[in-house]
Amino acid sequence: MVVIMEMGATEPQIEAVIENLNARGFDVHRSSGVNQTVLGAIGVKPEFDPRIIRVLDGVADVQRVTEAYKFASRSWKKEPSVYDINGIAVGGNEFILMAGPCSVENEEQIYATAAHVAAHGASFLRGGAFKPRTSPYSFQGLGEEGLKLLRAAADRHGLNVITEVTEVGRVDLVHQYTDIFQVGARNMQNFDLLKELGRSDKPVFLKRGLSATINEWLMAAEYVLSQGNLRVILCERGIRTFETATRNTFDLSAVPVVKKKSHLPIFADPSHATGIRDKVIPMARAAVAAGADGIIVEVHPEPDAALSDGPQSLFFDQFEKLARQIHDIAGAIGRTMKQPTYA
């Protein structure tokens, strides 16, 4: 931690700050120029709140040089994390495609989608059974029946399952059906849920909160990691800004930023990030080029009749075309991808 004293801070003020830091167990290295003093405090603990020093008399600013998260950081683990999920390496050189409807609606819908996405390069079938909807009047999901249909459709077509768990009390239930727990944007700071998932043996796909900074997002990941579950996958799904032309603003620069700060795999969700079908396709392509380890994208056999997120769900032919383009873009940046079949 670096403590920058105000110009002209008095000697007693400087000494009081040094004493305070020493009393908290820090080693302090002082460097003083003609008018200004900077203190280097060695020994910052992750839980230390720098504002304790920031409010002392004569202090101009305090900056952390180590991150408040540990297990999520690159300094803790230099190499990118790769997870073997039923034979699929997530976070490795292979670009991973997760696809499916926003919500599981019925047998016909989920089986048709599973067949289609499996044939065109997807490794995971997505679909919500418990839906955190903005309106209580919107479709809330089929619950356990949805989980059963999702699992059966995925198994039929050799896919893995990713689905959202919305609360602590449902972790055991969702665990029976899923291969990856999705934590939705609205739950990114549901700390009890994160801790519970941190004690699970299945990977956690942690979506970025609607208004979360990258630091807050990594701290949320730390909740899972610090409980012992070291398999967290991050997902950028758009953040809230002043822009209204898209549902959210796709912060694609989060991908290289996270790659630098963390060893965790990072995915992108162009569906929720843009909210409009014709924007999903170019932004999905951009996510591959930006270095995401995979994307999760919404696809529906009849988007116009979808019970949730129809306007951002791709038609089958659009998904097919996108998968081929992604395959080629991945190849251009030296990554592999499961071969989509050509119609």
Instruction: Give which of ligand PEP, Mn ion, none residue 184 binds (C-beta under 5 to 8 Å, depending on kind).
Output: ligand PEP
Between 20 and 59, how does the x/- string for binding to ligand PEP read (CB under 6 A)?
Answer: ----------------------------------------
Query: How many residues touch ligand PEP (CB under 6 A)?
Result: 9
* Residues 110-149 contacting ligand PEP, CB under 6 A: 128
Give the Cα separation of 119 and 242 in Å (integer): 39
Closest C-alpha among 184, 106, 117 to residue 150 = 106
Among 102, 129, 268, 288, interactor with ligand PEP by CB under 6 A: 102
* Residues 205-234 contacting ligand PEP, CB under 6 A: 207
The distance in angstroms from the start CA to the end CA of the chain is 58
Closest C-alpha among 287, 289, 291, 282 to residue 318 = 282
| Binding window for ligand PEP (CB under 6 A); candidates: 35-43, 78-86, 181-189, 334-342 | 181-189
CB of 309 to Mn ion, least distance (A): 4
Give the Cα separation of 6 and 93 in Å (integer): 49
- Is the separation of the CB atoms in 186 and 167 below 8 Å? no
Q: Does 161 bind ligand PEP (CB under 6 A)?
A: no
Q: Where does residue 109 rank: exposed (0-12), middle (13-18), buried (19+ CB within 10 A)? A: buried
Among 100, 121, 184, 294, interactor with ligand PEP by CB under 6 A: 184
| Binding window for ligand PEP (CB under 6 A); candidates: 60-68, 81-89, 179-187, 221-229 | 179-187
* Residues 56-115 contacting Mn ion, CB under 5 A: 102
For 214, other C-beta atoms within 10 Å of its C-beta total: 18
Closest C-alpha among 171, 192, 169, 168 to residue 181 = 171
Decide whether 303 or 340 has the Cβ nearer to Mn ion: 303
Closest C-alpha among 221, 204, 203 to residue 213 = 221
DSSP string, 242-263: S--SSSSB--TTHHHHHHHHB-
Decide whether 123 or 163 has the Cβ nearer to Mn ion: 163
Residues lying near ligand PEP in the complex (CB under 6 A) are found at: 102, 128, 184-186, 207, 237, 269, 272
